[in-house]
Amino acid sequence: MTPHSPSPRSRRERPAKPALTRAGIVATAVELMRAEGLERVTMRRLAQELDTGPASLYVYVRNTAELHAAVLDELLGEVDLSPVRSAGDWRDRLARLLTSYVEVLFEHPALARSALVARPSGEHYLDLVEAVLALLAEGGAAPERAAWGLDLLLQYGTATAAEHSTRAESADAQRDREALTAVLDNSSPDRHPQITALGPDLIAGAGEARLAWGFQVLLSGIVTAPDPDTTPAAGTGADAGTGAGAGAGADKNSAPDTATDTTP
Amino acid sequence: MTPHSPSPRSRRERPAKPALTRAGIVATAVELMRAEGLERVTMRRLAQELDTGPASLYVYVRNTAELHAAVLDELLGEVDLSPVRSAGDWRDRLARLLTSYVEVLFEHPALARSALVARPSGEHYLDLVEAVLALLAEGGAAPERAAWGLDLLLQYGTATAAEHSTRAESADAQRDREALTAVLDNSSPDRHPQITALGPDLIAGAGEARLAWGFQVLLSGIVTAPDPDTTPAAGTGADAGTGAGAGAGADKNSAPDTATDTTP
DNA sequence: ACCTGAACACCGTTCAAGT
DNA sequence: ACCTGAACACCGTTCAAGT
């Protein structure tokens, strides 16, 4: 029974206290999130789960944000990348890929929120980026266009997931919706004629269709909009880029990378 | 000097303790945020500023989220709505309006973050929504298209602002960027050929131009993409909506409001 | 009826002191 | 050299008890 010699009956009925490693910490964090939600994945709670003090975690993880980023990357392993190498139109396959990404994040909106602030850089995230770029390239997007388009697409997916409220907050979310509905009902036709006219259309849910339409809009726009270089910052010229976007869009859509608008 | 009779020299050199009102609380919260950042606008810190205990605030404000929402709406009063009634192409004016929105949020990214979760419903927010809808209507967008487009545009602006790190976090943000750069440098051409090929293009900053291009993409897409009703959820058909978006786009752009896609 | 002191149940992060 | 107990400096929210 001395601290040095293990007692005869300690034939590891329970792993007792496995050595701390970064991988082990992250794995436990993922488990904890699955069981209790990201809001419970705190340094203190996690340390408790690992039978140690919170200070010990700081040997392996810089801070809470980094921990959450690691958890996120782990989760991104679940994204279905198969559309990249499947048959069919690149737009549809890209939409399927991104929908899978959003579905994974939907399970943990708080994680999506953190992804919006601290850009991830894990292995699984890179696989996702690679996949999106491959499909954009297949669609003929020139490098810069693809890089910027990637940002737009992932940001849209991430933000959409982030907007979804966690179960815990759903009571508040419902209050939000009620408040907005009340405001819309009371909207004055004088001050807010457009809002009054649209009415309930403004909060028409149909989340799935909305998400799909958003991807369509982005894909059309990414292929169609004028070349990044020629787009002036808003607030400059009054007629710059006016109809050029969709005007030349039809042509450019056929061969986006051969567009001539690099020269204004 | 008795508690009841005011002492002669108390000719309100300091307002002592103004009665609590919701408006007063929110005004103080805005001041506090301007002075110390949103992260300091906590119930406890705010109560201290108002010379009372945190419990007192709960008489006027449901919780911290609602407080932050009220602060946000106050801030949105600074958005420049003049592009709605100015001359020029509706796209450029809409871009200017949204750029102003983003500029206001850029000052307080944490507030943008909260806007992403709890959708605002204050007066100033409604004014902004009304303005965006008016410009979309001017561009000939049909009601449903306008409603969905509104969401896309505001979400893009909000998310872009939310991504910007607060001063306090800028050290972390820089580390993020360094980490990402390191990852890109080490990216293997085998596993991530697209990423390796694009290289530094992926993190090319030029925030202003990127934002402007994003608005262009969205506006092109909103006008151009197939009708919301006809957009199938991703993962369904393989050829649905393939080229229809930009294909019919050129026509639709000339007279978007006379488009016949209400009837499939 | 209206307001609030004090308590409950938590946080992240650091650092001096241990092994 | 590596690890961590204990402390510092905070949080949001509730509710019983006061005026």
Of the candidates B129, B195, B225, which has its C-beta nearest A129's C-beta? B195
Q: Is B205 exposed, middle or buried (0-12, 13-18, 19+ CB in 10 A)?
A: exposed
pLDDT of A13 higher than 50: no
- Residue A52 contacts strand C, CB under 7 A: no
pTM of the model: 0.83
Q: CA of A46 vs C1' of C17, distance in Å?
A: 24
**Contact call for B96 and A194, based on CB within 8 A:** no
Work out the percent of chain A whose per-residue pLDDT is above 90. Answer: 58
Residue B224 confidence class, pLDDT cut points 50, 70, 90: confident
**Contact call for B155 and A137, based on CB within 8 A:** no
Spatial distance between the Cα atoms of B117 and B207, rounded to a whole number of angstroms: 24
pLDDT value of residue A251: 36
Place of tokens 């786009």: B249
Instruction: Give the Å distances, CA to CA, from A1 to A5, A8, A10, A14, A34.
Output: 7, 9, 11, 18, 38
Q: What is the largest CA-CA distance in chain A?
A: 85
- Residue B228 contacts strand C, CB under 7 A: no
Q: Report yes or no: B106 at the A interface, CB cutoff 8 Å.
A: no
Work out the percent of chain B whose per-residue pLDDT is above 70. Answer: 76
pLDDT value of residue A119: 86
| DSSP string of chain B, one letter each residue | --SSSPPTT-S-SS--SPPP-HHHHHHHHHHHHHHH-GGG--HHHHHHHTTS-HHHHTTT-S-HHHHHHHHHHHHHTTS--GGGGSSS-HHHHHHHHHHHHHHHHHT-HHHHHHHHHS---SHHHHHHHHHHHHHHHHTT--HHHHHHHHHHHHHHHHHHHHHSPPGGGHHHHHHHHHHHHHHHHT--TTT-HHHHHHGGGGG---HHHHHHHHHHHHHHHHHHSPPGGGPPPTTS-SSTTTTHHHHTHHHHHHSGGG--TT--
Spatial distance between the Cα atoms of A57 and A63, rounded to a whole number of angstroms: 9
pLDDT value of residue B139: 94
pLDDT of A108 higher than 80: yes
Domain assignment of residue B111, yes or no: yes
Domain assignment of residue A59, yes or no: no
Q: Are B125 and B73 in contact (CB under 8 A)?
A: yes
Spatial distance between the Cα atoms of B209 and B215, rounded to a whole number of angstroms: 10
User: How many Å lie between the alpha carbon of A10 and the closest alpha carbon of chain B?
Assistant: 44
pLDDT value of residue A16: 58
Report helix, strand or coil for A219: helix
Instruction: Kindly report, residue by residue over A125-160, the tens digit of the pLDDT.
Output: 999 999 999 999 999 999 989 999 999 999 999 999
Nearest to B165 by CA among A67, A114, A63: A114
Strand D: which positions are within 7 A of a protein CB?
2-7, 10-15
Which structural domain range is residue B90 located in? Answer: 80-222
**Contact call for A249 and B221, based on CB within 8 A:** no
* Nearest residue of chain A to residue B144 (CA atoms): A201
Residue B167 confidence class, pLDDT cut points 50, 70, 90: low
Mean per-residue pLDDT, A178-183: 76
Q: CA of A52 vs C1' of C17, distance in Å?
A: 17
pLDDT value of residue B22: 95
- Pairwise pLDDT comparison (B19 vs A206), residue with the higher score: B19
Domain assignment of residue A3, yes or no: no
Q: Which range, B2-11, B166-175, B224-233, is most confident?
A: B224-233
Spatial distance between the Cα atoms of B37 and A72, rounded to a whole number of angstroms: 27
User: How many Å lie between the alpha carbon of A73 and the closest alpha carbon of chain B?
Assistant: 14
- Residue B55 contacts strand C, CB under 7 A: yes
Of the candidates A183, A210, A247, which has its C-beta nearest B148's C-beta? A210
Report helix, strand or coil for A243: coil
Spatial distance between the Cα atoms of A202 and B147, rounded to a whole number of angstroms: 5
Q: Which residues in chain B have their CB less than 8 angstroms from residue A232's CB?
A: 212
Q: Report yes or no: B171 at the A interface, CB cutoff 8 Å.
A: no
Domain assignment of residue B43, yes or no: no
Q: Which residues in chain A have their CB less than 8 angstroms from residue B144's CB?
A: 201, 204
Mean per-residue pLDDT, A207-228: 90
Nearest to B31 by CA among B16, B57, B49, B53: B49
Residue B185 confidence class, pLDDT cut points 50, 70, 90: confident
Burial B154-166 (b: 16+ CB within 10 A, else e): bbbbbbbbbbbbb
Domain assignment of residue B156, yes or no: yes
Report helix, strand or coil for A52: coil
**Contact call for A237 and B149, based on CB within 8 A:** no
pLDDT value of residue B161: 95
Q: Which range, A255-259, B10-14, B138-142, B165-169, is most confident?
A: B138-142
Instruction: Kindly report, residue by residue over B37-88, the tens digit of the pLDDT.
Output: 999 999 999 999 999 999 999 999 999 999 999 999 999 999 999 999 999 9
pLDDT value of residue B119: 86
Nearest to B180 by CA among A74, A73, A102, A214: A73
Nearest to B228 by CA among A164, A165, A201: A201
Q: Which residues in chain A have their CB less than 8 angstroms from residue B143's CB?
A: 197-198, 201
- Pairwise pLDDT comparison (A239 vs B48), residue with the higher score: B48
**Contact call for B249 and A220, based on CB within 8 A:** yes
Mean per-residue pLDDT, B162-174: 69
pLDDT of B137 higher than 70: yes
pLDDT value of residue B187: 75
Residue type, A254: S
Residue type, A239: D
Q: Are B167 and A224 in contact (CB under 8 A)?
A: no
Nearest to B154 by CA among B183, B134, B125: B125
User: How many Å lie between the alpha carbon of A45 and the closest alpha carbon of chain B?
Assistant: 23
pLDDT of B193 higher than 80: yes
Q: Is A180 exposed, middle or buried (0-12, 13-18, 19+ CB in 10 A)?
A: middle
Instruction: Kindly report, residue by residue over A63-85, the tens digit of the pLDDT.
Output: 999 999 999 999 999 999 999 99
Structure tokens at B124: 């100033």
- Residue A166 contacts strand C, CB under 7 A: no
Domain assignment of residue B63, yes or no: no
Dihedral sign of CA atoms A130, A135, A137, A141 in order: negative
Residue B15 confidence class, pLDDT cut points 50, 70, 90: low
Domain assignment of residue B165, yes or no: yes
| CATH of residue A130 | 1.10.357.10
Domain assignment of residue B3, yes or no: no
**Contact call for A92 and B183, based on CB within 8 A:** no
Q: Which range, A20-34, A242-256, B226-240, is most confident?
A: A20-34
Residue A238 confidence class, pLDDT cut points 50, 70, 90: very low
Place of tokens 């005011």: B6
pLDDT of B207 higher than 80: no
Residue A234 confidence class, pLDDT cut points 50, 70, 90: low
Task: Kindly report the average pLDDT of chain B as a whole number.
Answer: 80
Nearest to A164 by CA among B151, B252, B118, B6: B118
HSE-CB for B61 with a 13 A CA cutoff: 27
- Pairwise pLDDT comparison (A4 vs B84), residue with the higher score: B84
Task: Kindly report the average pLDDT of chain A as a whole number.
Answer: 80
Q: Which nucleotide is nearest to B41 (CA to C1')?
A: D11
Look at chain A and report how many structural domains it folds into.
Answer: 1
* Nearest residue of chain B to residue A165 (CA atoms): B117
